[in-house]
Amino acid sequence: MKEETVVTLKGIKKAFSREQVLCGVNFSVFPGETVAIIGLSGAGKSTILRIIAGLEVPEEGEVYLYRRLATSASRLILPPWERKIGFIFQNLALWEHLTVYEHLKFVTSEEEHLVRLLHLFELWDLRKKVPAKLSGGQRQRLAIARALAQRPALLLLDEPFSNLDPIRKKKFRRELLRIKEEENLNLIYVTHDPNDLRLLADRILVLHEGIILQGGRLSELLAQPVHPIVKELLTL
């Protein structure tokens, strides 16, 4: 690999029991890029993010992070906690016994950064509450703030805005773009929202039947879809 890449996946294959989910996934993400992954439910989008984060190992293929071999077939070379990856899980994975403040404190000792994030995501007044006392949108904001607290180089977002109302969605998209610029963050996210694709993605990867069927800008995919499913996924 001559060019600098943030992430490169090479020939990733993954099966769960008998079901082959990923059949040779190849793609790279370049510095500064925001990449969206789309696909039908069950296509393996979350599995790809988990493999990048080192939370799942493929049977075949390699994952490189900044040109460094991170996963090789079923071997984790770099453990998840050394990958500098922030992950916003589809199910959020909050810590039910910790308060909002403690969620952030657990991942950063930089008090100023922590307070800034609490304000940014409208969590300051909620800082003493545990997740059970929060609304769906508030829980989602907490998951985003926690992921950013550790100053990741790469942020993986699994349908991050699905529980937010349209106005907050718009606001957090904007904030995310700002933080991305400020912190030099690379984003890979899974979404079903056409607005996310239009407003956030530099490039879209279409995952279908275990492979990346097509990748490109939204306008390119709309103009020249290689398969009817591409257009269908883009115009939900």
Ligand X SMILES: Nc1ncnc2c1ncn2[C@@H]1O[C@H](COP(=O)(O)OP(=O)(O)O)[C@@H](O)[C@H]1O
Site residues for Mg ion per CB under 5 A:
46
Q: State in angstroms the smallest separation of the CB of 162 from ligand X.
A: 12
Q: State in angstroms the smallest separation of the CB of 12 from Mg ion.
A: 16
Which of 29, 45, 53, 143 lies at the binding interface for ligand X (CB under 6 A)? 45
CA–CA distance, 5 with 159 (Å, rounded to integer):
24
| Cβ atoms of residues 70 and 63 within 8 Å | yes
Residue 21 binds ligand X (CB under 6 A): yes
Instruction: Take residue 22 and report the two structure tokens written for it.
Output: 């990923």
Q: Where are the alpha helices (DSSP H) in 18-122?
A: 45-53, 100-107, 111-120
Which of 34, 46, 138, 191 lies at the binding interface for ligand X (CB under 6 A)? 46
Which of 2, 18, 41, 132 lies at the binding interface for ligand X (CB under 6 A)? 41
| 16 touches, from ligand X, Mg ion, none (C-beta below 5 to 8 Å by class) | ligand X
- The CB-based long-range contact list for 94-98 (8 Å cut-off, 24+ gap) reads 94/131, 94/139, 94/142, 94/143, 94/146, 95/131, 96/130, 96/131, 96/132, 97/130, 98/130, 98/131
Nearer to Mg ion, 46 or 71 (CB): 46
Nearer to ligand X, 179 or 207 (CB): 207
Q: State in angstroms the smallest separation of the CB of 212 from ligand X.
A: 13
CA–CA distance, 204 with 216 (Å, rounded to integer):
5
Q: State in angstroms the smallest separation of the CB of 90 from Mg ion.
A: 5
Give the residues across from 27 on adjacent strands: 9
Beta-sheet strands, E only, within 77-173: 85-88, 154-158
> In the range 1-20, which residues lie near ligand X by CB under 6 A?
16, 19
Nearer to ligand X, 51 or 104 (CB): 51
Q: Which residues bind ligand X (CB under 6 A)?
A: 16, 19, 21, 39, 41-47
